[in-house]
Structure 1
Amino acid sequence: MSAPRQEGAPLRAGVVGLGWAGQQHMDAYTARPDVDLVAIAGLEDEPRARLGDLYGLSDAGLFRGYEEMIAQADLDVISVATPTALHAPVALAALAAGVHVLSEKPLAEDAERGAAMVEAARSADRVLDVSFNHRRRGDVKALKKLVESGALGEIYYAKAGWLRRSGIPGLGTWFTRKSLAGGGPLMDIGVHMLDMALHLMGEPAAEAVSASTYAKFGPLGRGGSVDRPTVAAGEDGTVPFEVEDLSTAFVRLSGGATLLLEASWASYIKSDELYVVLYGSEGGAVLGSSGSWSESRLEVHTELHGVPAELFPALGPDGRHGEAVDDFLAKVLAPDWSDFHGEDALTRARVVDAAYRSAEEQREIRLDRPTRQA
């Protein structure tokens, strides 16, 4: 177990994973005066040494494995930025040691493993959080305020999607192996859109899911990102590809609302796009851009004094990973952790699981509403 920290002492943070996402967490921790980044872990020797120099870590703060880091670094908080199949092993080890956990999305490779993480957080009474950084976009935050104000009325239908023209993140790498990633774009980028939609709609419970998945590009070695590595094709001209490259799901929500969700790594579209569309009884909203996944943009369609009106709200800055880390630390510093055991992230995992099962069995899957433990 981590040693009790003296009041006012900085939190001791560690990061598992040396890639881009892990470095976002390292940057966020080092930007905080009340946090000391004391350890990083990863198997790659050169990046580990380089990042150790960059963040001013001694050799004692550099680890190949997460087990040694958790056992030796006396951590208060840990970020998990590894391939998806390692989220649960790292989180379970950290929670057992009394360390609060912030994981990259998704929670785990399936809901069963995610549920084990949530139960471990409850048992240890430690924070378990997931870095859904895209809900910290400026357009998402502005739209959330509008919804909460009642300006759009009852949100009864939503559409959300993230589509790429050619963006499979590493053909033949861990991203495209089901045992390591859990799934394809629905698990990778679709879960961001699911999180954003449920967050904006006020967290309605998912009651049923009907979905389909397709793999038309990846098995042929097509659709890969130009900036990501590709495993060489075999003699038959194919590369290892065990997941979908496009998914679509229709989700029935509590209160009668519905959500149409789509995600793709590769498809013949004009350009990449990310969007959320909300249909409300008093107004509608379109978030995102049809020409860019990264451009914050928000339109609101309503009436003012009986006259149709199109509004373009002013947007604040994107918070991204830094804000996700800040929100996690705010939970850690709260006096009560009973509401922060990862239940919201588990709801997303259950919807994704149901979508994959629906696609496999070609039928609608009903979800049992989980009971919240005290």
Structure 2
Amino acid sequence: MIRLAVVGVGKMGLSHLSILGAHPQVRIEAVCDTSGYLLDVLGKYTGVTGYSDYEKMLERADLDAVVIATPTRAHATMVRAALERGLHVFCEKPLTLRSEDSEALARLAEERGLHCQVGYHNRFVAAFSEVKRLLELGAIGEVTHALAEAYGPVVLRPKGGTWRSRSAEGGGCLYDYAAHPLDLLAWYLGEPRAVGGTVMGRIFSADTEDEVYSTLFYPGGASAQLSVNWSDESFRKMTTRITLTGTAGRIVVDRQECQVYLRDTAVPPEGYHHGWNVRYTTELTPPVWFYLRGEEYSAEWAYFVDAVAGEPADGAAAGVNSFASAAVTDRVIEMLVADAAVPCGVAAASGTGASGAGVSGAAGAGPGSRGARKRAFWSLGKLRGE
């Protein structure tokens, strides 16, 4: 039986608490939150011990693992405190606000032999997992380009008051939304060598961005476009979609289905044929013991519990969502922030004709010049310690 505490009982914390409370190998020993009202309600109806002080909980509760679902700003300190006490950790995404902190925590977890996982749940969505399998089989040949999209109706009017509306807390479209498709790109293509043309625009928010657009460049010549907007009411709920173009075919995937086109030069994997193929999440997803919000949440917890218990992990999910893999996404986020801060060239208002072609500045001079872009990439290298 794994003794576990949930820290931060907001939307995600409550979801994790519900799923874990139904797991036959888990016993909830404690919850921790700054809201006395929430602790009183949980104590009354569940009998679980509540703490408003994280350090006191770590000292007094008899634990094997902790779940950290607080605002991102608190992750680094809380995760380190748990690791130093020899506890396994599940932390909500993104891992931290600084990739060097994420890397240090990954090293500490490895040194202590602890299982640590980050809540990028899309890696446990069967359709997205099928893409990973197909890429490892070389089904569409060499990937040359990807399009990573995420849209949803999160911020549709000027508002504030929560950590998600404050960039210093780790909120905003980049950390809260774009992190998901960025993590999938890292899973599929690895770490990009650079990014360019990053735009982070505000639509309704006063302190953070509501949309993120950029181009990512990978070793070997592949590229990816990132397009994310959480102020898009044309989508009923968050929609994440990845399109991968390869030398032997194409894949379009979201949480509902995986569409695969294979050219006649491709070698189709078992169950696939040349031309268009469709695999639905319903046929790809194994059953879970408890359903809440989506099978992927139960699947990620089954993986965590099995890993903590020392049981063999499902081969399809082995090694996913470690602190080390989450640090890759954190590094990419930092690259995007740095790139967005560099002035870019824009189409001239006059002298360009109806097409609007051309950028301001001469070579090596203006904000859109080659010299400016070189300085931007130099800044990215300095940020990453290269």
TM-score bucket of the superposed structures, by smaller chain:
0.7 to 0.9
2:22 corresponding residue in structure 1: 31
Of 259, 265, 276, which residue of structure 2 is paired with 1:299?
A: 259
RMSD (Å) for aligned C-alpha atoms: 3.0
Q: Does 1:322 align with 2:298?
A: yes
Question: Displacement of 1:80 after TM fit?
Answer: 0.4
Alignment of 1:126-141 (within 5 A): 126-141=114-129
Is the 1:213–1:244 contact (alpha carbons within 8 Å) kept by the matching residues of 2? Answer: no
Of 260, 281, 284, which residue of structure 1 is paired with 2:225?
A: 260
| Alpha-carbon distance between aligned partners in 1 of 2:153 and 2:11, rounded to the nearest angstrom | 22
Alignment of 1:1-374 (within 5 A): 10-57=1-48, 61-165=49-153, 167=155, 171-181=160-170, 184-201=172-189, 204-219=190-205, 241-267=206-232, 273-288=239-254, 296-303=256-263, 309-315=275-281, 316-317=284-285, 319-334=295-310, 342-362=323-343, 363-364=376-377, 366-367=380-381
| Alpha-carbon distance between aligned partners in 2 of 1:305 and 1:24, rounded to the nearest angstrom | 46
Q: Which amino acid aligns with 1:132?
A: Y
| Alpha-carbon distance between aligned partners in 2 of 1:55 and 1:186, rounded to the nearest angstrom | 36
| Alpha-carbon distance between aligned partners in 2 of 1:42 and 1:15, rounded to the nearest angstrom | 9
TM-score (norm 2): 0.76
Q: Deviations over 1:245-267 (max 9, x none)?
A: 11112111233222211222225
Is the 1:126–1:341 contact (alpha carbons within 8 Å) kept by the matching residues of 2? Answer: no
Match of 1:74, SS state, is coil
Is the 2:155–2:230 contact (alpha carbons within 8 Å) kept by the matching residues of 1? Answer: yes
Q: Which runs of 5+ in 2 are unaligned?
A: 267-272, 286-293, 313-318, 344-375
2:359 corresponding residue in structure 1: none
1:38–1:29 CA distance, 2 compared to 1 (3 A): same
Question: Displacement of 1:158 after TM fit?
Answer: 1.0
| Alpha-carbon distance between aligned partners in 2 of 1:77 and 1:368, rounded to the nearest angstrom | 36
Match of 1:140, SS state, is helix
Match of 1:39, SS state, is strand
Q: 148-157 or 299-308: which moved more?
A: 299-308
Q: Which amino acid aligns with 1:301?
A: Y
Match of 2:27, SS state, is strand
| Alpha-carbon distance between aligned partners in 2 of 1:120 and 1:192, rounded to the nearest angstrom | 25
1:368–1:35 CA distance, 2 compared to 1 (3 A): farther
| Alpha-carbon distance between aligned partners in 2 of 1:47 and 1:351, rounded to the nearest angstrom | 36
Q: Deviations over 1:81-137 (max 9, x none)?
A: 011111112111111111111100001122233233224324433222201112222
Question: Displacement of 1:16 after TM fit?
Answer: 0.2
Question: Displacement of 1:146 after TM fit?
Answer: 2.2
Match of 2:193, SS state, is strand
1:101–1:270 CA distance, 2 compared to 1 (3 A): closer
Is the 2:182–2:329 contact (alpha carbons within 8 Å) kept by the matching residues of 1? Answer: yes
Question: Displacement of 1:53 after TM fit?
Answer: 4.1
Highest relative contact order (Cα 8 Å, sep 6+), 1 or 2? Answer: 1
| Alpha-carbon distance between aligned partners in 1 of 2:86 and 2:201, rounded to the nearest angstrom | 42
Is the 2:331–2:384 contact (alpha carbons within 8 Å) kept by the matching residues of 1? Answer: no
1:54–1:287 CA distance, 2 compared to 1 (3 A): farther
Question: Displacement of 1:24 after TM fit?
Answer: 2.1
Match of 2:18, SS state, is helix
Aligned residue-pair number: 328
| Alpha-carbon distance between aligned partners in 2 of 1:268 and 1:28, rounded to the nearest angstrom | 29
Match of 1:48, SS state, is helix
Identity of aligned residues (%): 25
| Alpha-carbon distance between aligned partners in 1 of 2:31 and 2:214, rounded to the nearest angstrom | 38
Q: Deviations over 1:253-285 (max 9, x none)?
A: 233222211222225867764210011222111
TM-score (norm 1): 0.78
| Alpha-carbon distance between aligned partners in 1 of 2:382 and 2:246, rounded to the nearest angstrom | 27
Question: Displacement of 1:335 after TM fit?
Answer: 8.2
Question: Displacement of 1:49 after TM fit?
Answer: 2.5
| Alpha-carbon distance between aligned partners in 1 of 2:69 and 2:25, rounded to the nearest angstrom | 22
Q: Which amino acid aligns with 2:203?
A: F
Q: Which runs of 5+ in 1 are unaligned?
A: 1-9, 220-240, 289-294
Is the 2:156–2:232 contact (alpha carbons within 8 Å) kept by the matching residues of 1? Answer: no
| Alpha-carbon distance between aligned partners in 1 of 2:74 and 2:235, rounded to the nearest angstrom | 35
Is the 2:259–2:279 contact (alpha carbons within 8 Å) kept by the matching residues of 1? Answer: yes
